[in-house]
Amino acid sequence: MNAAPTLAAAPFDAAELAALRADFPILSRTTRSGRPLVYLDSGATSQKPLAVLDAERRFYTEHNAAVHRGAHQLAEEATDAFEAARAAVGAFVGAPAHEVVFTKNATESLNLVAHAFSTSTAYAQRGSAPQGQRVDPRFVLAEGDEVLVTEAEHHANLVPWQELCARTGAVLRWVGVTDDGLLDADALDGLVTERTRVVAFAHASNVLGAVADVARFVAAARRVGAVTVLDACQSVPHLGVDLPALGVDLAAFSGHKALGPSGVGVLWGRAELLEAMPPFLTGGSMIELVRMERSTYAPAPQKFEAGVPMAAQAVGLHAAVDYLRALAPGGRGMERVEAHERALTALLLERLAELPWVRVVGPAAAADRVGLVSFVLEGVHAHDVGQLLDDEGVAVRVGHHCAWPLHRRLGAAATTRVSFGPYNQPSDVDAVLRGLHRAHELFA
């Protein structure tokens, strides 16, 4: 869409929205009940605009070759496209290209970081680091060293740390969640000790919608020299985010939640830290010198990108961030996306507040949230809610949303989550409400 909005921080108006929605063909399909699709599961994965699909196809039909591996013209073109994607995706989150590592998804990004600790630890214990590679003490864990997460984490930012502890003898600690469904940030200072080596937390919770007080986490971690790892999966697609400015050391997000293709994720890290980390996946294209006995590795980001990469998907993600930026003049599209999704969130929260049989989890005010709302219908199982919404054509997510410990803490086996993308419209909220009323009538 090419409409030039006038107010950078206003929601999209009806005309803008119609133009934008036309870029997403899937939004005009109907569902098995004959009703038009109302897609409200962008927190799981977003839909993709035609610009993204076209960019991928153009790559395949004009430039496809293995990147970083050939001297022929196609290989050069493919490599240029891949590296241009790195620069654009970096710029989208305020980072230089050489601090951007392409992975298959945010989960791989977070595992990569967790393994940097166990691999460094093994190198240090065995003296087995590649020749000339200093083992950085920040990544070496001693028995009883601590990894701090929160009780609200997505499994992707929890299980890799549990497994790191199982490999090394480190101990997992966590910031709890209060009865109100908020992070118990006051407990943070007591939990960060001299033994804390990693502080890993979500920028925005994929269940609560709450945006974390990043500065507070960073300050606590800095005090003891712990590495900070930000799970930015639910912030980067929905807010304007400048990762380096946040003060964290490393951050992960996925392309498929930010209008990009499936199969591509990002790890951002401060250059100095990426250099200090050992590789994770090893193989072709990430080496400096290979002998049968042992090998040495290329500088970051190549060091972390073993094998033929997801080039077409990186190119698709490039088109996605270009698309998002272009939603407002001066490349400030994310400001409008944020404003738009926040307006929808406020509308939904307002409507839900009128229903005494609905319990919303997380912050009461839209201003404290990214564009998603999870809730419980009293006396109705979330999967039945989801099914009735599905029957209205409304696609939402039900379950524990890969945050099982949080749901246990909230005393809810499952919640229903509505999550917005830039293409959602006020009438989508009406559709949700219709479905909720039906579920309430049928079951409660």
Ligand X SMILES: Cc1ncc(COP(=O)(O)O)c(C=O)c1O
Tokens of 26: 């899937």
- DSSP output for 27-53: GG-B-TTSPBPEE-BTTT-----HHHH
54, 80, 350, 378: which one contacts another protein (CB under 8 A)?
Answer: 80
Kindly name the residue from 402, 406, 410, 431 that is annotated as catalytic.
402
Helix 73-92 crosses helix 311-325 at what angle (to 10 degrees)?
40
* AA letter at 298: A
Rounded to a whole number of angstroms, the minimum distance from the CB of residue 419 to ligand X is: 9
| Backbone angles phi and psi of 370, in degrees to 5 | -90, 180
CB atoms within 10 A of CB 179: 9
The residue whose two tokens read 């006038």 is 6
> Residue 231 binds which one of another protein, its own copies, ligand X, none, with CB within 5 to 8 A depending on kind?
ligand X
Residue 71 lies near another protein (rule: CB under 8 A):
yes
Residue 128 lies near its own copies (rule: CB under 8 A):
yes
How far is Cα 317 from Cα 88, in angstroms, rounded to an integer? 9
233 is catalytic: no
Applying CB under 8 A, the span of 39-47, 59-67, 74-82, 203-211 interacting with another protein comes to 74-82
| Backbone angles phi and psi of 31, in degrees to 5 | -105, 180
Q: Are 221 and 212 in contact (CB under 8 A)?
A: no
Q: For residues 263 and 399, which CB has a smaller minimum distance to another protein in the complex?
A: 399
Give the footprint of its own copies on residues 23-52 (CB under 8 A). 25-26, 29, 31-32, 37, 39, 41, 44-45, 47-48
Q: For residues 62 and 189, which CB has a smaller minimum distance to another protein in the complex?
A: 62
> Residue 37 binds which one of its own copies, another protein, ligand X, none, with CB within 5 to 8 A depending on kind?
its own copies
The helix/strand/coil state of 193 is coil
> Residue 234 binds which one of another protein, its own copies, ligand X, none, with CB within 5 to 8 A depending on kind?
ligand X
Residue 265 lies near ligand X (rule: CB under 6 A):
yes
> Residue 298 binds which one of ligand X, another protein, its own copies, none, with CB within 5 to 8 A depending on kind?
another protein
Rounded to a whole number of angstroms, the minimum distance from the CB of residue 189 to its own copies is: 20
> Residue 271 binds which one of ligand X, another protein, its own copies, none, with CB within 5 to 8 A depending on kind?
none
Tokens of 435: 């479905």
30, 387, 411, 426: which one contacts another protein (CB under 8 A)?
Answer: 387
Q: Are 165 and 147 in contact (CB under 8 A)?
A: yes
User: Residue 419 contacts by C-beta under 8 Å, 6 or more apart in sequence?
Assistant: 40, 41, 42, 43, 44, 371, 372, 373, 396, 397
- CA 86 vs CA 101, 309, 337: distances in Å: 8, 12, 22
Residue 150 lies near ligand X (rule: CB under 6 A):
no
Q: Are 329 and 305 in contact (CB under 8 A)?
A: no
How far is Cα 276 from Cα 299, in angstroms, rounded to an integer? 10
Give the footprint of another protein on residues 230-289 (CB under 8 A). 288-289
Rounded to a whole number of angstroms, the minimum distance from the CB of residue 332 to its own copies is: 27
Question: Sheet of 415-419: strands edge to edge?
Answer: 358-361, 372-377, 415-419, 397-399
157, 196, 313, 345: which one contacts ligand X (CB under 6 A)?
Answer: 157
Residue 79 lies near another protein (rule: CB under 8 A):
yes
23, 108, 146, 341: which one contacts its own copies (CB under 8 A)?
Answer: 108
Question: Which x/- pattern, by CB under 6 A, does the window 88-127 give for ligand X?
Answer: -----------------xxx--------------------
CB atoms within 10 A of CB 433: 17
Question: Which is nearest to 173 in space by CA: 96, 226, 235, 113?
Answer: 226
Residue 404 lies near another protein (rule: CB under 8 A):
yes
Radius of gyration of the chain (CA): 22
Q: Which residues bind ligand X (CB under 6 A)?
A: 105-107, 154, 156-157, 202, 206, 231, 233-234, 254, 265, 284, 307-308, 402
User: What are the catalytic residues?
Assistant: 402
Which residues are at the interface with another protein (CB under 8 A)? 33, 70-71, 75-76, 79-80, 288-289, 298, 381-384, 387-388, 391, 399-400, 404, 413-414, 442-443
